[in-house]
Amino acid sequence: MKHIVLAMALAGLLLVAHPAAAKTALETQREDFKAARSAVRKGAITKYRKIRKRLDNYVLKNYLDYEDLKRRLSKQSVNTVHAFLEANQDSPLHNRLRLQWLKTLARQGRWKQFVADYRDLNNTKLACQYAHALQKLGKQQQARIEAEALWLTGKSQPGACDAVFKNWRASGAATPELIWERIRLAMHKRRPSLARYLAKFLGPSERTWVEHWYRMYRRPAKMLGHPSLKKDTPLVREILLHGLERLARLDAAEATKRWSGIRSHYTFTQEDIGKLERRIGLSAATQGLAGAHEMLNRVDISWTDETVHQWRVRSALRAENWQAALHSIE
């Protein structure tokens, strides 16, 4: 019995002691990890490697390997980089290293390797460099596809895209339709200066229309009555609608008045009308105009969403029209 009691006591001591020992080992590894990370970032490689040897079983060791690789990436072999990427496919480190690797290849002008290792990392500059690499390697069809995708945005692209777009335009791929498509995207993204810049790639007569649109963006109340916008064409209607939407955000009452005088003189589609009247109605409500509730009630059902419903209720409450508010809630 004495031996059993002694054995149980020893087992109890081991159970108590073991977690403490494990915790001490883990704390030591954590301290070593911090010291190794600091050493590699400072370039103290001898010290780093000495500490790194003690961390082969540490869960975050790959982060140290990443720091070490990144520090001297320009001198790494392709096989070394690929081995790390393969070993860390399911880790955030995979894309981190690939990003740094692609940047390194681009700086070195190693375009063939860049194309081989490129993946979409949601990085526009890298995407531009990828298109540039394809052009350099003579892969023109694929380069055109990439260039067009980069072109069709309403915002300015990084400088890395300049050469890509220049070559793309020189190849004849930048049709007037594609130029206009980007101008439209720019205007609707509130980038009128970009649209104005893009106009230089159009002929003189078309540039004039971009200038009209630019001025409409800047001073919609003035431009809505411009003589050049009297003719009922798709482009004129588009410019007018954009101007009315802009005006509505500034002065919904004036937009309502101007829309009333314009609507019957042009062949606007039901979609055009529904979208614009939704915008005017919401602007009237947010600006606290009398009659906003009635304007929102006239919005076509296909353009009536939760936002419209909410502002119907708010505008009715503001006007103390309790019955209308209740009806809007129901």
* H or E element in which residue 26 lies: helix 2-42
Dig out the tokens for 147 from the structure.
Answer: 């260039």
Rounded to an integer, the average pLDDT of 324-328 is 71
Least confident window among 131-140, 147-156, 255-264, 317-326: 317-326
The DSSP secondary-structure symbol of 156 reads: P
The rounded distance, in Å, linking the Cα atoms of 28 and 164 is 52
Tokens of 100: 């740094």
| Angle made by CA atoms 59, 62, 68, in degrees to the nearest 5 | 140
Q: What is the pLDDT of residue 9?
A: 39
Q: Are 215 and 240 in contact (CB under 8 A)?
A: no
As to burial, measured by CB atoms within 10 angstroms (0-12 exposed, 13-18 middle, 19+ buried), residue 73 is middle
The model's confidence at residue 58, banded by pLDDT at 50, 70 and 90, is: confident
Helix (H) or strand (E) holding 169: helix 162-170
The whole-number pLDDT of residue 50 equals 74
The whole-number pLDDT of residue 36 equals 65
Mean pLDDT to the nearest integer, 252-259? 97
Q: What is the pLDDT of residue 11?
A: 34
Is pLDDT larger for residue 16 or for residue 166?
166
Taking each continuous run of H as one helix and of E as one strand, the counts in the chain are 19, 0
Instruction: Enter the pTM of the model.
Output: 0.82
Q: Given this model, what pLDDT does residue 39 score?
A: 66
What is the predicted pLDDT for the residue at 59? 65
pLDDT confidence of residue 95? 96
